[in-house]
Structures are given as structure tokens and as C-alpha cells.
Amino acid sequence: MSLTASDRPRFWRALGDTAKVYNHALDDDRREHYWRALQDLDIQQVEAACEAAEKRAGTGNCRFFPLPGTIRALTSESTSIQRASVTAMTQAALKQGDVYCLGCDDTGWAPTIDGRVVSLLEAVKRNARHVRPCSCRASNHIYAAKKAREPKIGQSGGDRY
């Protein structure tokens, strides 16, 4: 991932908002240098780092308007914090036998009858025989953890969802 021309408005806004918090004058020339120095990041990372910089303004490595290297450091910090909290949430949920998605019991497969997704209860009652990938997959941390734990079986065919 990297910054693309269409990210420019968001980039300007993120950097501009941060500059306001630091009471920092950001001219076009300087913005252009930041744009180039942070080319390889993606826009979400830049926005998250700028947000972190705003929250920490006046402390630690954010005593002054962050230099590109500081923004970069804030980026990896916020990603690892996110990752750590997702992992912790997942572990806690798995320990409790908790279910994140009531539509598929975290299997990633939602039961269907006549092509329509039905509740697990209805599926049992009416003996549903078909499934389709559950819509929770993209956001279900437990499903993702289970998926990661599965042994890899061969390289051909199989589950492409």
C-alpha cells in the first residue's frame, strides 16, 4: 500500500488538523515534503498516526509538530496496539466460550433454506442442508483466529472464501 493522488485531500486534512493542534504553520512546500517522505504509507495509517499525534500533543515524542519519522513511529505503535487488543479480545472470548456471531456460531458458514439465510435455531428446526459464507467473516475475530489455527491442507482447490 502507498499514498495515491486520490489520497491527497485526506492527507492534507489529517496533517492540517494536526498542525492546528500544534499551532504550527504548515505551508504548501512543507506539506509537499511530508507527502513525499510518507509516500509508502497508506492513508489510514497516516490518519491514525495524526490522530495519535493530536492526542499526545505536548508530551514525549509529540512535544512539537511531529516530523515524518515521528509520524512513522506513531503508525507502527498504533498498529501494534490495535493488533494486541484484537488478540486479547479474541483470547478472552475464546476462553469464555463466547460467540461473536449468532448467525453462524463463528464457523463462518451461515445456514440457508431455499437460498435464504436463516437463524441457527430455524436451521435446526427445519433441517437446513445448505450454507453460505457468513457476512461476519470480515469482522469476526474469532472466525479469523479459528481460520488461522486450521491446518493447511494441500494447495489445490478447497475453500476459496
- Supply the minimum distance, in Å, between the C-beta of residue 124 and Zn ion: 16
Question: Residue 157 and residue 18: Cα distance in Å, rounded?
Answer: 48
Cβ count within 10 A of residue 103: 19
> Which one, 101 or 145, has the nearer CB to Zn ion?
101
Residue 141 CB-density burial (10 A; 0-12 exposed, 13-18 middle, 19+ buried): middle
> Which one, 30 or 146, has the nearer CB to Zn ion?
146
Classified as helix, coil or strand, 16 is helix
- Supply the minimum distance, in Å, between the C-beta of residue 107 and Zn ion: 7
> Which one, 2 or 119, has the nearer CB to Zn ion?
119
- Supply the minimum distance, in Å, between the C-beta of residue 158 and Zn ion: 20
**Interface contacts to Zn ion, rule CB under 5 A:** 101, 103-104, 134, 136
> Which one, 73 or 99, has the nearer CB to Zn ion?
99
In Å, what is the CA distance from 106 to each residue of 90, 116, 122? 12, 19, 17
- Supply the minimum distance, in Å, between the C-beta of residue 105 and Zn ion: 8
